[in-house]
Amino acid sequence: MELLLNITIYLPLLGVAAFLFIKTDEAVKWTSLIITTATFFLSLPLLFNFDVVNSAVPQYLTEGSPIFSGMDIKYLVGLDGLSLLLFMLTTLFGPIVILASWSSVKKSLIGYYSMLLILQTASLGVFASLDLVVFYVFFELSLIPMYFLIGIWGGSDKIRATIKFFIYTLVGSLIMLVALIYLGYNAGAATGIYEFSADWRFISGPEYTPGLVEQTWLFLAFALAFCIKVPLFPFHTWLPYAHTEAPTAGSVVLAAIMLKLGTYGLVRVCMPVFPNAFMEFAPWMAVLAVIGIIYGALVAMVQKDVKKLVAYSSVSHLGFVVLGIFAFNTIAVQGAIIQMINHGLSTGALFLVVGMIYDRRHTRMISDFGGIAKKMPVYATLFMIATLASIGLPGLNGFVGEFLILNGTFMSVLYDHKVYAILGATGVILAAVYMLWMYQRVMFGPITIKENEKLVDLNAREIGLLIPLVIFMVWIGIRPVDFTQYSEEWVDTFITQTEEKSIAVLQNTNTDELPEWTAKIYDLKEHQTEQKLVVTKD
Amino acid sequence: MDYLHDLQVFLPGIIVAAAGLLVLLLDAFKKGMHVTYGFAVGGLAIALLISIQAMFGESGTAFYGMIVYGGTGAFGTFIVLLGALFCVIISRDYLRDVDLHNGEVYAMILFATTGMLGLAVSNDLISFFVSLETMSICLYVLAGLMKTEKTGAEAALKYFLLGAFSTGFLLYGITLIYGATGHTNLNEVAAAAEPTLLFLAGSGLLLVGIFFKIAAVPFHMWTPDVYQGTPTTLTAFMATAAKSATFVAFILILTRMLPGTEAGDWTNVIQVVAILTMIVGNLIALAQDNVKRMLAYSSIAHAGYLMVGLAAGTAAGYSGVLYYLFAYTLMNIGAFGVIAYYERNHGLDFTEIDSYAGLGFKVPVMGVTLSIFLFSLAGIPPLVGFVGKYYVFAAAVQAGLIPLAIIGVLASAASVYYYLRVMVYLYFKESHKEYSMRRPGFVFKSTLVILAVLTVYYGIEPVLPTTGLIELITSYYAV
């Protein structure tokens, strides 16, 4: 199983190597399809053999030796309750994005499919790695293929979009790198054996309790990198550009997988490693998340371009995920994890659907359509399901995630205010408005534009690549427990552990030695304020 | 005093010098260029093999303490020879196409290399100065090779005048140090050093001379013009081997002559210069439209990153710098190599970024390798440039220089823009006209592919189960 996990991660790279010997375009496409399909099927045993009861413990571990004595940086991959489903989602999308580009990409195919395959390995690597340095390497590696995917095969304004995407994300991750190095030395000192430690199992565990000052800075640095990746308002400005200019497959991977690297990082690193900072900054993050939910929805409503509309809806939906993560109770975090999968499925499907109509008409403007449903009934049906899943109709997957998140947010002790849940819930209503309105304008009414008369319905390939997504949308909607079970134990364990760790940190803290601002943030030195109160009462 | 032993530990330098003389003689008797070229490559290769062996060997001093061997010096010798060898290999096709393919060029490269080898092992201010001048004078000549071009003449003259000026500083610094301590041997100077004005002024002037040679801001003005006017593969030689040798000598001076005493605490100065160098180098590089000038400013910025490791002043910092020099040699020679290839096809003024539009698809090997080198220079994992940057910044963080590290990573984030810009032209823009490209020669192509493979290999090497290179380097500083 350990070997299987590694094979799954690196098999796509083997495909890239195979391209050295393949010359014809057809062979390139088939090789990529076979490789990604094989990756998907090879990853299934990982799911079936997963020990659900112990999902808090990483499984299928491969552990290398530290790179050199004293430095605990090592090759460490494994899956646990948090990463398993996202890992599976990535392998599922592998063949789908290959099929989605089958006939629409015609320029330098070897380059294109190599980029998709490298991206696959990088994303799988991020989800599987449990050493923070290895995590960082994969996190950054995923930028390069996406840079080329947008830059070479993108739309008219591709250069600006891809550079904005690259620089924006890179600035965040470089600051994270400095924080990571500091964290490594800080944690290394706590091991007593090593000088430097990047082993997530140790850093997130109860033995390592970083001080409040360190936590604040480190949390902010890590959270900045992840929030840019999510993207959380106000760091979202790169996203609409990147999405609009990227080729269909690029948008799908970006939405379904790469945005999850941000939210995944928040749960994987920020929550268990910096418990006090995480809890203290939670209301602030929730404010940003709620602004993102409403702002994203409002901006989506006025878009003329379908793809841009879906891109802004991502900002809104990922606001929900962040809201759930920082609500910090079992229900909300569970909801956030399942919502990551849901967003991947439904937004991925929406981008695919938009790509299909773009291939036929070479436009994405809502005003260029209308009445399509008559000409393309199958398309209309699948589009409808994806739309409804994205809105959160009960019975489909979106509902499950949003319900859990809002439910958890409502009860959250950290937020201490119901207003977050109430404002968040308006996002669901707004989603229905912009999605259904868009659907109505594209699909219904009379056909006003001549070209639309000639539209042909989906072919077998296009239906085939949407069907698996639809199956999972319905499945998660009807029996969510089949999926949430994987992360249940993980979330329970880590919420308890994080709480305990935050208390331990406070106990270790000498309040008098803290700088003024830290004490202020964490509401320490209460005795002083109490004394003042006493004085005023006298 | 065992002369044979002393000669043996400096064997790489002797071989390279002998090869240089041989090349000069062969060229005089017109034996045909491939024999000459073969001797140059052969001499460097043998010296390289010996130096690899020496990296694992014992260390000590030789020639009455004039030079060190083993440890830092051995690794410096290795980097210099690696850079020189690769530069000579990729030079042949280029020099032939620009009509400069003659024996003197190789002889000059070999003599310059001899100087660098001396520089990388010098343990005495006299041997330091003599080696530095041997290297510099040969480099002045190489900078002026394209004497009929305006840029070539400008490069040589500018390099020579400013170089001579900085030599003055250097020599004056050495004089003052000798006056203050009565010694020129690094260890003896360190033992006799006191924080007198004389000594401080001396070591300050010495540092100015070194800053000039490594192109640190504000002593960097010569770099872009010289790099632009020199034949491209020789620019690679200057940017890698010469810079590595000077940096290794800098490390030796810092660790042996100025170890963290009151008289030798130049950390603050190095920090300030590092910050200036990173910021100025990267910011000016953003505005360059000529790829060679862009790489010149990028090399200034890289000197800044290297100085971050020196500012840390710890074993981790020095070993990080040595690793970075190795990484920098691989990726920079690669980048200059591909640029030289494009130049060979379309004439010497073919270095404007605008003319690179759409070239990436023309000869895929060249486009892909150039992209790998540029990503590595930008410090994107999993490439060797990232590993190098990681080690120097980690050393700075460990030494408590967190603001320095943050400025460093932000500067390197800015640098990504200009590296990406080259790729934007290579791949994302359509070419203006149809270029016909000659196929690159087999040796040339394989050299670049080898460099690219090494760039990737050393990027992932830290997680491979083999013994890491960094472990070997760190062992030099183990007490």
Question: Which domain, by its residues, includes A90?
Answer: 2-513
Among B202, B220, B248, the domain boundary falls at B248
Based on the fold, state whether residues B293 and B149 are members of the same structural domain. Answer: no
- Rounded to an integer, what distance in angstroms lies between the CA atom of residue B78 and that of residue B52? 6
B132 Cα distance to chain centroid: 13
Given a cut of 90, whether residue B473 has pLDDT beyond it is no
- Does B75 map to a domain? yes
Contacts B471 to A, Cβ<8 Å: 67-69
pLDDT tier, B308 (very low <50, low <70, confident <90, very high otherwise): very high
| Residue A518, in any domain of the structure | no
Phi-psi region of A480 (alpha: psi -120 to 50; beta: other; left: phi over 0): alpha
Interface touch B397/A178, C-beta < 8 Å: yes
Is the predicted pLDDT of residue A104 greater than 70, yes or no? yes
Q: Is it the case that residue B358 has pLDDT exceeding 90?
A: no
Which of A273, A286, A279 lies closest to A227, judged by CA? A286
For residue B159, pLDDT over 90 is answered with yes
Prediction ipTM score: 0.81
Q: Does B361 touch chain A (CB under 8 A)?
A: yes
Q: Give yes or no for residue A531 having a pLDDT over 50.
A: no
Residue B392 lies in a domain: yes
Give the count of beta carbons closer than 10 Å to the beta carbon of residue B29.
Answer: 8
In a domain, A530, yes or no: no
Rg (CA), chain B: 21
Measured at the CA of B301, the angle between CA B299 and CA B303, to 5 degrees, comes to 70
Containing domain of residue B344, as a range?
266-479
The secondary structure of B201-238 as a DSSP string is: HHHHHHHHHHHHHTT-TTS-THHHHHHHHS-HHHHHHI
CA angle, B225 then B230 then B235, to 5°: 95
**What CA–CA distance (Å, rounded) separates A64 from B465?**
7
Does residue A34 fall inside a structural domain? yes
Could you give the CA distance from residue A365 to residue A418 in angstroms, rounded to a whole number? 39
Instruction: Report the chain B residue with the minimal C-alpha distance to residue A154.
Output: B428
Average pLDDT, chain A: 88
Which residue type sits at A54? N
Residues B394 and B286 in one domain: yes
Same domain flag for B1 and B91: yes
Q: Is the minimum CB–CB distance between A302 and chain B shorter than 8 Å?
A: no
Lowest mean pLDDT segment, chosen from A287-301, A345-359, A442-456, B370-384: A442-456
Task: Rank A57-66, A271-280, B110-119 by mean pLDDT and report only the highest.
Answer: B110-119
Token pair 């229905």 is at which residue?
A432
Which chain A residues touch B386 with a CB distance below 8 Å? Answer: 137, 140
Q: Please indicate, yes or no, if residue B205 is contained in any of the structural domains.
A: yes
Residues B282 and B428 in one domain: yes
The tally of domains found in chain B comes to: 2
Strand ranges, E, within A144-213: 196-197
State whether residue A13 sits within 8 Å of chain B by CB.
no
In this structure, are B325 and B208 located in the same domain? no
In a domain, A342, yes or no: yes
Q: What is the pLDDT of residues A108-152, one digit of tens each?
A: 888 899 999 999 999 999 999 999 988 999 998 888 899 999 988
- Final residue belonging to a domain, choices B248, B276, B306: B248
Q: What is the pLDDT of residues A470-509, one digit of tens each?
A: 999 999 999 998 888 888 889 999 999 988 888 888 888 7
Does one domain contain both B78 and B3? yes
Q: Is residue B260 part of a domain?
A: no
> Are the C-beta atoms of residues A303 and A211 closer than 8 Å to each other?
no
Task: Tell whether A312 is covered by a domain.
Answer: yes
Q: In the prediction, which pLDDT does B246 show?
A: 94
Judge whether A531 lies within some domain: no
Domain check: are B201 and B324 in the same one?
Answer: no
> Rounded to an integer, what distance in angstroms lies between the CA atom of residue B94 and that of residue B103?
14
pLDDT at B122 > cutoff 90: yes
Global pTM reads: 0.87
- Regarding whether B177 and B56 lie in a shared domain, the answer is yes
Domain-ending residue, one of B248, B275, B301 = B248
- Across the interface, of B381, B465, B470, the residue whose CB is closest to A65 is B465
Whether A537 is covered by a domain: the verdict is no
Assess whether B185 and B314 both reside in one domain: no
Burial of A265 (0-12, 13-18, 19+ CB in 10 A): buried
- Domain check: are B187 and B291 in the same one? no
A468 cis-preceded (ω within 30 degrees of 0): no
Helices B150-181 and B222-229: crossing angle in degrees, nearest 10, is: 130
Q: Taking CB atoms and an 8 Å limit, are A143 and B416 in contact across chains?
A: no
Are B271 and B409 part of one and the same domain? yes
Distance CA A210, CA B313 (A): 26
Q: Of A140, A407, A403, which Cα lies nearest the Cα of B460?
A: A140
For chain A, the domain total comes to 1
Counting every residue, how long is chain A?
A: 538
Name chain A contacts of B405, Cβ cutoff 8 Å: 178, 181
User: Cβ of A162 under 8 Å from any chain B Cβ?
Assistant: yes
Q: Is the pLDDT of residue B244 over 80?
A: yes
The reply to whether B80 falls in a domain is yes
- Whether residue B258 lies inside any domain: the answer is no
Residues B405 and B281 in one domain: yes
**CA-CA distances (angstroms) from residue B197 to A143, B174, B181, B204, B254?**
52, 14, 12, 10, 19
Q: Read off φ and ψ for residue B290, nearest 5 degrees.
A: -105, 125
**Looking at residue A535, what is its pLDDT?**
46
Quick check: is B255 in a domain?
no
Residues of B with Cβ-Cβ distance to A64 under 8 angstroms: 463, 465
Per the domain annotation, does A104 fall within a domain?
Answer: yes
Of B326, B266, B410, whose CA–CA distance to A172 is shortest?
B410
Contact A75 B463 (CB under 8 A): yes
